[in-house]
Structure 1
Amino acid sequence: MTAPATVPYESTPRERRKVVAASIVGTTIEWYDFFIYAFAANLVLAKLFFEPAGPQMMQLLSLVTIGLSFLFRPLGAFLAGHFGDRLGRRPMLVITLLLMGIATVGIGLLPTFQSIGYAAPVLLILLRILQGLSAGGEWGGAVLMSVEHAPPGKRGLFGIYPQLGVPFGMLLASAVLALMRFLAPGAAFEAWGWRVPFLFSVVLIVAGFIIRRTVDESPVFSEIKESRQQESAPIAQVFRQHFPLVILCALLFAGNNAVGYMLTGGYVQGLASRPPSEGGLGYDPVQVQLAVLLAAAVWAVFTYLSGPLSDRFGRKMVMNIGWILQAAAVVPLFQFVFNGGVTGVLIGTCLLAIGLGITYGPAAVWFAESFPASMRYSGISISYALGGVLGGAFAPTIAQLLLQTFGTTWAIVVYLLFMTSLGLLASILLKDRSNIPLDIEFERTGQIAVWTPEPRR
């Protein structure tokens, strides 16, 4: 194995701490906003914005709006990737955070169908699109700021910090939603309680904006800028030179996303807590939300552990073990949910969270190590966005359609196992380049992370 890489402009320990804080806080806020919408779409938005479509169709339409934002993630990735590779990582982090905050608060203030008719779902969809644009560009910048500031031999550890924003965001969203369902139960939650978690985003956005503004630019991009190595059209170069790599990275992410959105897309929560008249199981909604909150904590723990483990044993080995654990947990998931009450929801989702954390944690650093420096933001953002479309975008909608069509959750299990197998296949085919240089010297070698032979040891 080659020696751990360094970069000419190495960060100080103080700057690294600031980057870690900015990565975790910023992505937590972004994903809090995202999960609040996903949970609300499964719980109340169908009735408030799509009720004229009828009981079953309104639920499907509400789930479709979860996936709709994914269709605009590639556009967000294209824009943020282009300007992130041209102008820097930090400006994109600030812009995407503000866009997500504006959209989230806007949803919290939006009148319902009963108040303004068909304008309500139209405005809801527009704000959801804005969330998608933001999410498509935010992840790549957060990952690169963290990984490109990492000290030698610890890129896997630093790469999990932006990944932790997802389970942390889910934890925060679940906690706030559970609190509001307790303080404003039943009709009160439907009338106004659901809006509070959206409006609470204002506080988070201000805090995240302040923190991200204080972070220095990535040392790798500083070197690129000083040596005038920016690509004039980084997106075109990514597709021209590294198209197979983009596809494999997208499949890697899709395998995790499709299964993960049973939790993060709110599907299990909605299925468990909706009344039987709306196709649910009628479990206590606060208890269900608390069960998923604990699952998010398990997810966070295993996401964190996967980072240093990938530094020690390599990205590929850790990810492959994660895919096996993820598949093993998919099989009994709905048996626990349907037959075990709230306790079954807790057990099933916590078991699922183990494999999800292990397959999610190393993805960020693996993506970053796969693309050349001058087009890295574009490469990882586009791969991430396409993976979201292929995997998580319509996973809850597909699951609901499969359940309605076949009348059994085993159809959902087969779908999730298929997506997991795609992730495993991509993991096998991708090159593990844990210690390659991340600066422009890597780009000059002309190497990519697919099909390149292993160096002699």
Structure 2
Amino acid sequence: MTTTTSVSRRERRKVLAATTIGTAIEWYDYFLYAAVAGLVFNKVMFGPLEGGLASIIAFLTVGISFLFRPLGAFLAGHYGDRLGRRFVLMVTLFAMGGATTLIGLLPTYDTLGYFAPLLLILLRIIQGISAGGEWGSAVLLAVEHAPKEKRGMFGAGPQIGVPIGLLLSSAVLSIMNWVAPGDAFMEWGWRVPFLLSIALVAVGYFVRMGVDESPVFEEMAERKEVEAENPAKLLFKRFTPLVIVAALVFAGNGTVGYMTTGGYIQSYASNPDGPVGLARGDVLNAVTLSAFTWMLFTLFAGFISDKIGRRTTYLIGFVLQAIAAAALFPLVNTANLGLLHFALIALTVGLGLTYGQQSAMYAELFPASIRASGVSITYALGSVLGGAFAPMIAAALVEATGSTTAVSIYLVSACVIGFICAFLLKERKGIPLSTDHEDEQASNHFIFSKN
């Protein structure tokens, strides 16, 4: 029988590379849309709308995709528990890349009228379904291959794929802003990063074809446990409170993180008619740099969580994240480029420390037979509760109040909720993940649970 102890070091390295690179490619596609929504789509796809309403609707299309993440998570969890983690990863890669490439070819409102934004929303929904299925399968492939003392570090691989995706999308947009400045960027420059996705999909396919299936899934297949009761049904039948609390932990991270990954800061800080009015290229460069520091602290969180535990890392991270979230808009509103850089980099410290260990923590929460469903669905629900409409809510709060104070309160509140929910969960670092320990995996999740 295959176990994690029998997986070679070479195979583990291959899995880590494949999940990191593949996740980075998929999130490049996802974050690219979010950034362009606030910079371009609010103008070229939502022509009849005026002023702040166009931006709100553009950010609404960012959030709409999150509503379809649970569908992707249900499908990916179901087939990930029955057909394997690797199979799901290949399907989501092609779905995400295909939708992104088609967005790059989509006519604007001036050419196609109302069909342009409708088609844009349809493609964004496909991205949402794909994103809902991608993450859970990627992290399980990494964590279930890892030695138990290094799960946080291995799980941080696909986690850093997310800031790498932001780094790539921001960097390519910055380059295109230089290559095609001003009106040229609005006319055709924004399309090039979307069209590049087809080449990235080819890279992702190549690296993912070279890895083996998760050893835990292979154990399940050998024992015929993949034919058990519907995984999603069993998940909610037995673990609904756990799913909700764990989802809110991620929501505490996602609400704050989507100020940049959702494109809001890029739009707010570079709006020539707004209170800040910084150059679009300068703002994109600042976000690119912050994506790099986010990646570093995400990797550090995975590493340190193997030493001090997932829960402790979360609690420290949420405190730092709350401080940075409170200072974010006061610093951005100074219209000082140096302070914008400082605000975004400070934010990444907390974001990294509430993100890098998430793969390992989620994998250690659920029994092997329903783990793919548990991880995927919990993550998708957290995305809806947290990041889904955070940019739209921020835009609406500013439009309604005329200031960013309400946005700051909103972000700090999310950090507090995340801290409380992380506090309620017991530390489960190092718990066995194999099918031989389902009873242990299925119990003792909360600090008030009986031993």
Q: TM-score band, normalised by the shorter chain? A: over 0.9
2:200 is aligned to 204
Correspondent of 1:362 among 345, 348, 357: 357
**One-letter code aligned to 1:256:** N
Correspondent of 2:97 among 98, 101, 108: 101
1:66-88: CA deviation from partner (whole Å, max 9, x where unpaired)? 00000000000000100000111
* Alpha-carbon separation, structure 1, partners of 2:129 and 2:74: 10
SS at match of 2:47: helix
* Alpha-carbon separation, structure 2, partners of 1:455 and 1:232: 27
Q: Residues 446 and 213 of structure 1: is their aligned pair in 2 closer, same or farther, counting only changes over 3 Å?
A: closer
* Alpha-carbon separation, structure 1, partners of 2:44 and 2:138: 34
Are 2:133 and 1:132 equivalent residues in the alignment?
no
**Match runs of 1:285-434 below 5 Å:** 285-434=280-429
Deviation for aligned residue 1:280 = 5.7
Are 2:4 and 2:145, in contact at CA under 8 Å, matched by a contact in 1? no
**Match runs of 1:211-250 below 5 Å:** 211-230=207-226, 231-250=228-247
Are 1:245 and 1:449, in contact at CA under 8 Å, matched by a contact in 2? no
1:226-271: CA deviation from partner (whole Å, max 9, x where unpaired)? 0111233000000001111100111001000000000111111111
Deviation for aligned residue 1:152 = 3.0
Are 2:276 and 1:281 equivalent residues in the alignment?
yes
Q: Residues 340 and 112 of structure 1: is their aligned pair in 2 closer, same or farther, counting only changes over 3 Å?
A: closer
Deviation for aligned residue 1:371 = 0.2
**One-letter code aligned to 1:321:** I
Deviation for aligned residue 1:444 = 3.6
Are 2:431 and 2:441, in contact at CA under 8 Å, matched by a contact in 1? no
* Alpha-carbon separation, structure 1, partners of 2:12 and 2:418: 31
Are 2:264 and 1:270 equivalent residues in the alignment?
no
* Alpha-carbon separation, structure 2, partners of 1:31 and 1:184: 24
**One-letter code aligned to 1:214:** G
Are 1:35 and 1:173, in contact at CA under 8 Å, matched by a contact in 2? yes
**One-letter code aligned to 1:289:** L
Deviation for aligned residue 1:296 = 0.7
1:316-374: CA deviation from partner (whole Å, max 9, x where unpaired)? 11110000000010111111111042222111100001100000111111000000001
* Alpha-carbon separation, structure 1, partners of 2:383 and 2:275: 26
Identity %: 51
**One-letter code aligned to 1:238:** L
What is the TM-score normalised by the length of structure 2?
0.97
Q: What is the alpha-carbon root mean square deviation over aligned residues?
A: 1.5
Correspondent of 1:170 among 166, 187, 193: 166
1:161 is aligned to 157
Q: Residues 185 and 303 of structure 1: is their aligned pair in 2 closer, same or farther, counting only changes over 3 Å?
A: same
Gapped regions of structure 1 (runs ≥ 5): 1-5
Are 1:41 and 1:62, in contact at CA under 8 Å, matched by a contact in 2? yes
Are 1:372 and 1:448, in contact at CA under 8 Å, matched by a contact in 2? no
* Count of equivalent residues: 449
Deviation for aligned residue 1:214 = 1.2
Are 1:35 and 1:265, in contact at CA under 8 Å, matched by a contact in 2? yes
**One-letter code aligned to 1:203:** A
What is the TM-score normalised by the length of structure 1?
0.96
2:109 is aligned to 113
* Alpha-carbon separation, structure 1, partners of 2:8 and 2:373: 26
